[in-house]
Amino acid sequence: MQNAAILTVDDDPSVSRSVARDLRRRYGDRYRVIRAESGSTALDALREIKLRGEQVAVLLADYRMPGMNGIEFLEAAMDVFPLARRVLLTAYADTDAAINAINIVDLDHYLLKPWNPPEEKLYPVLDALLEAWLTTPAVTMPETKVVGHRWSARSFAVRDFLARNLVPYRWLRADEAEGARLLAAAGLGEADVPVVITTDGKALARPTETDLAAHVGMATTPASDLYDLAVIGGGPAGLGAAVYGASEGLRTLLVEQRATGGQAGQSSRIENYLGFPDGVSGAQLTDRARRQAQKFNAEMLTTREVVGLERQDPVTLLRFSDDTAVAAHTVVLATGVSYRLLDAPGLADLTGRGVFYGSAAIEAPNCSGEEIYIVGGANSAGQGAVYFSRFARKVHILIRGDDLTRSMSRYLIDQIEGIANIEVHPNTEVVGGEGRDHLERLTLCDRRSGRVSTVPTSWLFVFIGAEPRTDWLGDVVARDGNGYVLTGSDLLADGLRPAGWAPSRDPYHLESSMPGVFAAGDVRAGSVKRVASAVGEGAMAVSLVHRYLEGR
């Protein structure tokens, strides 16, 4: 990374020189430090760097500059170097502007002036940002390529997996010239797709998710046999538990079966999470949480499914689907919920080929100019509709009830009412789907009149609620009739502790019927199904983990 630059822009020449001097002192041997005295000259410099094919690692911009202020500069700079980390230099009086910038330009940090001594105030921030930049997949792995068929469920699954794990890739269709050239170069044919070409030039034909994870740099096997805390599930609750556990010195392992972020990672815009007044995409929130967990040395495994828990005092064994196991003193179950499948003839065969569960955001650009259908009346369906309305010609929301008021938040209903190309169809159900190699037609039924109609479409996005997938827990942990994990006082029947409960105390608030095993987030019976509450429960579970470890 010899050529990567750190660029600083400040209209006050003396401040500009002194930032550049401090930066050179610490980073001059590894980075080129470039300084500019206005937003426009800094942008010119960035464009020149881009043309030379070089990289920019960090941008530091003063907020108050004439002509173009720091936020405007960073916004424009994002178009040229979207992966560069962004820092705003502000005076104390401008902290509000800096906080706003966190959302507008996805600011990584704001530094209050003066930043002396730099060893305390400037370098720790920059060290962390440079480290994060260096581990950004696109920086170290410039281009993973996926060659596949347009309407292939397996090709979709590979792209969705990479996207949800925030691995940048280029998508090439096998029936287009460049895709065919790549297949030929790898000695493969159309029958082998999806083919993934990794950045080190390896061609993986029809890879499993575990192969793929290992080849794009994600850990899939634990580094140790024993942990203080094992967190199962990498959604907001699991990431919350991992951040708090690792930051408080617990040897923490997080195990995720598919992609960190969980349901929240699929959200196009979370608008009600504290601290993000302009909303935050699930991908952004996941990226930040993941980096935060890594910063505190939480170990994260992807594509590893936990299929069993077994008590072997004083530890609990987590069994993986490949028959290996890892031990932990305490466990947080944060496995959330999964989409319920829409049961109508024809749909199962078309899943991934026009029928998608959740927002499947990678398909949005392919919906340009098309009519699409969304099933469901809850917030996730509403968010999906708002997002897809920017691409599709028309978005139809199908709901079984009379209107959205009982199932969707007011802010989303208001947004939907204000978007001309969204239409809500009350009392309507999907009763079938057909198509040759992909979805071509849907059959709808008006629940009041019973009238059945057929509509042409290649896009159905299903958001019809979710259920916990906890069958693998068997009788090891008590669950309610719907599969949600019972915790705390819910385990006490008429004041009696659950059968087999050994400790001489009642279960702690988030503790399950197995001592030392806690549940947090959507998988817990009675939990509030929200990002904030999942994160909060993840954090709270860690404080109970400490109590459990101290009381043993």
**Is the Cβ of residue 261 or residue 435 nearer to ligand FAD in the bound state?**
261
Element (H, E) at 357: strand 355-357
Residue 326 near residue 253, CB atoms below 8 Å? yes
Detail the DSSP E strand segments found in 368-439: 371-375, 394-398, 422-425, 428-434
Region binding ligand FAD by CB under 6 A among candidate stretches 67-75, 344-352, 378-386, 399-407: 378-386
Interface positions, 277-306, toward ligand FAD (CB under 6 A):
305-306
User: Of the candidates 148, 235, 377, 536, which one interacts with ligand FAD according to CB under 6 A?
Assistant: 235
- Going 247 to 109 to 268 to 411, the CA torsion angle's sign is positive
**Is the Cβ of residue 68 or residue 285 nearer to ligand FAD in the bound state?**
285
Backbone torsions φ then ψ of 358, nearest 5 degrees: 85, -170
Q: How far is CA 98 from CA 23, 126, 275, in A?
A: 21, 17, 13
User: Of the candidates 199, 266, 351, 513, which one interacts with ligand FAD according to CB under 6 A?
Assistant: 266
**Does the footprint of ligand FAD cover residue 382 (CB under 6 A)?**
no
What's the rounded Cα separation, in Å, for the pair 40 and 408? 44
User: Of the candidates 179, 222, 358, 516, which one interacts with ligand FAD according to CB under 6 A?
Assistant: 358
Backbone torsions φ then ψ of 56, nearest 5 degrees: -120, 125
**Does the footprint of ligand FAD cover residue 234 (CB under 6 A)?**
yes
- Going 98 to 99 to 102 to 103, the CA torsion angle's sign is negative
Region binding ligand FAD by CB under 6 A among candidate stretches 386-394, 430-438, 492-500, 517-525: 517-525
**Does the footprint of ligand FAD cover residue 522 (CB under 6 A)?**
yes
User: Of the candidates 16, 69, 281, 380, which one interacts with ligand FAD according to CB under 6 A?
Assistant: 380
Backbone torsions φ then ψ of 468, nearest 5 degrees: -75, 140
Query: Closest Cα to residue 255, out of 333, 323, 358, 339?
Result: 333
**Is the Cβ of residue 222 or residue 233 nearer to ligand FAD in the bound state?**
233
User: Of the candidates 165, 267, 281, 415, which one interacts with ligand FAD according to CB under 6 A?
Assistant: 267
Q: How near is the Cβ of 248 to ligand FAD at its closest, in Å?
A: 19
What's the rounded Cα separation, in Å, for the pair 328 and 512? 16
**Is the Cβ of residue 22 or residue 287 nearer to ligand FAD in the bound state?**
287
Using CB positions, name the residue nearest to ligand FAD: 336
Residue count, binding to ligand FAD (CB under 6 A): 39
Detail the DSSP E strand segments found in 47-140: 56-62, 85-90, 109-112
**Is the Cβ of residue 234 or residue 488 nearer to ligand FAD in the bound state?**
234
Provide the binding-site residues for ligand FAD, judged by CB under 6 A.
Answer: 232-238, 255-258, 262-264, 266-267, 270-272, 305-306, 334-337, 358-359, 379-380, 383, 469, 521-523, 529-532, 534
